[in-house]
Structure 1
């Protein structure tokens, strides 16, 4: 019980497995980026040799920059080897209604949820002061430069900006298969992670229920002190072995299917969108992600509201016949079981990624949750088995809080919609499908803008600003403040003007997304 935790077995590769391996190794086995002479942990990753990557997780949050920095991968190398581009947020198209959107400037029916927090957010919350101008300017345009810059197709930085630094906050669009390969190479060659290509066919237990070892087809029994389940939807350890209860969220978020395809650009120098495009459809929504060499497009939908044939027609109508003829892949069907396991940590096993849970990729939360889980494990790694229960309880509690917030935040997008032309959208707006926690917040937000006090746990995945961007992008009405201090009003007006100046300046100096990516391949970013 008091023997040190030193032998960690990760079951499953992919992005989740290799990010976990990289963060653990960087945290415990390196010093200033160099592998210790005597590493603290022995980390082994076992990956099935014949399971192809799902390849849907092609959008990241800005947190990925911290992850890549920590594990020691150059941004220039990452962009080139992973066919990556810059993502500054998500633009939602036709979500408010089928045609125009009342209560929005010029009845605009699209809005951006940018990665940058509102201008001067550390000094003042601009949302209450924007309410008086909501018919004139969108919230995102008033408080952030990214709305206009993404519409212009501009990048978040210039070629002279050092690696991982920025003018505007950003994450990435990337090729998930290539990303996994880069991580595997880096972890095994630079971070000392052991790699076994084999099938896990059995699990051996201690008398207390802990996993003693996993049985592999070729490698035999592989023992460990702590096991990390990154086996994807199979959830071999947490789900199949421990039978940890699965909490389905299909009654809240209906989407359980996706059709995905990769299509080339019509021309070699076609613009690359610097945000994910999410376009509402009759029974779901279509993602459109721009990489340097191709686009990833897919339709996420509810099988109870649309057949596969209807979904395929909607997808083909979106991409067009000519684009489909040029497609690099056939349309692939993916099945989603929306929900999460009741706990992510059971005995000496923690599940990370889809082995713990999965939901539709509306706000690209999957990789962010992987990063949080892997970082939390690395920072709170139990010193021995005796302390594991305390840490597991703490992690499980935070895990549930994150999942509940993710579900509320994604559901928010549907609840606010005025679309009622199909059963799918009408069902989403039924009170019975809306979590009580979200219903109470929505009622409260009629009288006060979302703020950090509305979130009852530390370090939430979605800050209050994210709720502001979605609420007001969708035309939600909050009562205007009845009393505003003149000094604060003047400060807010100054900040609105400063944001406009900053937006104009950046729009005149930043390169397009494609121009910057071309320069990265030619020159690379400077390093500090």
Structure 2
């Protein structure tokens, strides 16, 4: 039973399923006869959860690789440009009704691994009391002004600033389905899985579906969401809960229409800290996607809904909400035998920092690059994948927990997040070393780090992390160059504020004229 893999079966649709199927079919060149074939089995009865609508800049490369036009993607998915996450009131609760905020940006003047402006800013050697983000990048000002990251004259997937997207997850699934089946050779089966059949060695040999019967394959991808029909139910891989670390366990979502067709579209995801969690606010081209991620141990569902509706304002009274129970954690193995779990079937960490779709992309990329030709080859790939994604998820959990742990808010929810027993030892060790030591590349020695050095600096300095660098102050001898870099940022900020269009203005132009072709 060591035949070559000729058929890959992806079970489950949604973003995870269709992004994986499209990625594999593109890699295999499945439109050609004799190539590895990809079949996606999708239930006609299960809607896409589609809560997280934010992406990372990696999505641009993914779309380009799959051959999807950026203009088509933007129009068909009601998508818009995302340049950052704006964290409102995370450091502390509003004082006298005044909110505070900081930015986690996608663009800085230079890579801090090459030259780090942070110590010069922290020691007061440069700047005019600007925030860290404003010191190293013009993107914070661009986001505050609601401007786009590019011009209509830029080519597809290229911009003046680094950027990602906000998108409608349901429409994105539709686009991927159409593209994968018509352009990439993916076979689509609309059916419900009724049985998963194993051989004597515990490998999946086929699945049985209600309307089409048996679907054969040599390799299977589990994208069945929280149900985890393959990796969980059929193969018995346990789920490791992390609800003792990340305390939020529910989300409420409400879609909010714009007041009119000319309403401004935010250039960033807006994450606002609340009494028992945080709200998200994502501007698409046709509506806002809002929601409240919270801990049911610290508030009632009724109170949570009131908090969200208060955030939205009077128009929320006429809008329907959707309650989602979150199973926060990950599988003890992501790959077992001839099955790889991707998406919610593998893991779920609350949607802060929009890591979910990025890790779907990362999973699909690693699978396509290391795809095993037969069962013997699967053993080595299984070990690599499980090691890699255990690391990635643990680092993602550390990074998200850091946002809560550094907060100075006093509500019970926020205080419980500071209890040391809820904080991973790895995070505590890093924060302890960074109290008197600049973050360096030696803190990120793994190629699979999901968040780079500058991401940590945005959060640490935005949250007011208590870092003292005076003991080594004399080693920062490039103040002149640092001041030059700072001045460049300020000059570019003024220039780009005059040249860049507003988000909606650019999206309207793209819909009318399209982009220059690559």
Q: Does 1:512 align with 2:502?
A: yes
Equivalent pair of 2:388/2:448 in contact (CA under 8 Å): no
What is the SS of the residue equivalent to 1:300?
Answer: strand
Deviation at 1:20, TM superposition (A): 0.1
Equivalent pair of 1:29/1:39 in contact (CA under 8 Å): no
Deviation at 1:483, TM superposition (A): 3.7
Aligned residue for 2:245? Answer: 252
Q: Does 1:180 align with 2:173?
A: yes
> Can you list the C-alpha shifts for 1:395-443, whole angstroms capped at 9, x where unaligned?
10010000000000000000110001x2101100111111100011111
Q: Does 1:291 align with 2:284?
A: yes
> Can you list the C-alpha shifts for 1:457-507, whole angstroms capped at 9, x where unaligned?
213110011000000011112112424457522221211111212222111
What is the SS of the residue equivalent to 1:180?
Answer: helix
What is the SS of the residue equivalent to 2:68?
Answer: coil
Q: Does 1:201 align with 2:178?
A: no
What is the SS of the residue equivalent to 1:112?
Answer: strand
Give the Cα–Cα distance (whole angstroms) in 1 for the partners of residues 140 and 108 of structure 2. Answer: 12
Give the Cα–Cα distance (whole angstroms) in 2 for the partners of residues 283 and 432 of structure 1. Answer: 19
What is the SS of the residue equivalent to 1:95?
Answer: coil
What is the SS of the residue equivalent to 1:268?
Answer: coil
> Can you list the C-alpha shifts for 1:226-274, whole angstroms capped at 9, x where unaligned?
0000001111001111121211110010111011010111222111001
Deviation at 1:40, TM superposition (A): 2.0
Equivalent pair of 1:450/1:465 in contact (CA under 8 Å): no
TM-score, scaled to structure 2: 0.97
Equivalent pair of 2:152/2:515 in contact (CA under 8 Å): yes
Q: Which residue of the other structure, out of 219, 231, 234, is the alignment partner of 1:238?
A: 231
Count, aligned residues: 514
Give the Cα–Cα distance (whole angstroms) in 2 for the partners of residues 74 and 321 of structure 1. Answer: 38
Q: Does 1:58 align with 2:53?
A: yes
Q: Which residue of the other structure, out of 124, 127, 142, is the alignment partner of 2:118?
A: 127
Gaps of 5+ in 2: none
Q: Does 1:6 align with 2:1?
A: no
Aligned residue for 1:503? Answer: 493
What is the SS of the residue equivalent to 1:142?
Answer: helix
Equivalent pair of 1:263/1:296 in contact (CA under 8 Å): yes
What is the SS of the residue equivalent to 1:204?
Answer: strand
Aligned residue for 1:104? Answer: none
Q: Which residue of the other structure, out of 358, 362, 378, is the alignment partner of 1:368?
A: 358
Q: Does 1:398 align with 2:391?
A: no
Equivalent pair of 1:266/1:323 in contact (CA under 8 Å): no
Equivalent pair of 2:119/2:438 in contact (CA under 8 Å): yes
Q: Does 1:41 align with 2:36?
A: yes
Equivalent pair of 1:118/1:465 in contact (CA under 8 Å): no
Aligned residue for 1:171? Answer: 164
Equivalent pair of 2:11/2:224 in contact (CA under 8 Å): yes
Q: Which residue of the other structure, out of 335, 346, 351, is the alignment partner of 1:356?
A: 346
Aligned residue for 2:21? Answer: 21
**Cα distance change of structure 1 residues 400 and 40 upon mapping to structure 2, 3 Å threshold:** same
Q: Which runs of 4+ in 1 moved over 3 A?
A: 120-123, 483-487
Equivalent pair of 2:238/2:331 in contact (CA under 8 Å): yes
Give the Cα–Cα distance (whole angstroms) in 2 for the partners of residues 132 and 483 of structure 1. Answer: 8
What is the SS of the residue equivalent to 1:439?
Answer: helix
Aligned residue for 1:526? Answer: 516
Equivalent pair of 1:92/1:111 in contact (CA under 8 Å): yes
Q: How does 1:13-162 map to 2 (within 5 A)?
A: 13-29=13-29, 35=31, 37-38=32-33, 40-100=35-95, 109-121=100-112, 123-133=114-124, 136-162=129-155
Equivalent pair of 2:23/2:368 in contact (CA under 8 Å): yes
TM-score, scaled to structure 1: 0.95
Q: How does 1:286-325 map to 2 (within 5 A)?
A: 286-325=279-318
Give the Cα–Cα distance (whole angstroms) in 2 for the partners of residues 309 and 112 of structure 1. Answer: 31
**Cα distance change of structure 1 residues 504 and 212 upon mapping to structure 2, 3 Å threshold:** same
Q: Does 1:474 align with 2:454?
A: no
Equivalent pair of 2:109/2:485 in contact (CA under 8 Å): no
Aligned residue for 2:432? Answer: 443
Q: Does 1:214 align with 2:207?
A: yes
Give the Cα–Cα distance (whole angstroms) in 1 for the partners of residues 263 and 211 of structure 2. Answer: 48
Give the Cα–Cα distance (whole angstroms) in 2 for the partners of residues 347 and 368 of structure 1. Answer: 24
Q: Does 1:412 align with 2:418?
A: no
Give the Cα–Cα distance (whole angstroms) in 1 for the partners of residues 153 and 368 of structure 2. Answer: 33
Equivalent pair of 2:89/2:99 in contact (CA under 8 Å): no
Equivalent pair of 2:107/2:162 in contact (CA under 8 Å): yes
Give the Cα–Cα distance (whole angstroms) in 1 for the partners of residues 39 and 68 of structure 2. Answer: 20
Give the Cα–Cα distance (whole angstroms) in 1 for the partners of residues 102 and 307 of structure 2. Answer: 22
Equivalent pair of 1:28/1:39 in contact (CA under 8 Å): no
**Cα distance change of structure 1 residues 425 and 357 upon mapping to structure 2, 3 Å threshold:** same
Deviation at 1:169, TM superposition (A): 0.7
Equivalent pair of 2:53/2:168 in contact (CA under 8 Å): yes
Q: Does 1:431 align with 2:435?
A: no
Deviation at 1:324, TM superposition (A): 3.5
> Can you list the C-alpha shifts for 1:263-306, whole angstroms capped at 9, x where unaligned?
11122211100100000000010000001110001011011111
Give the Cα–Cα distance (whole angstroms) in 1 for the partners of residues 239 and 195 of structure 2. Answer: 21
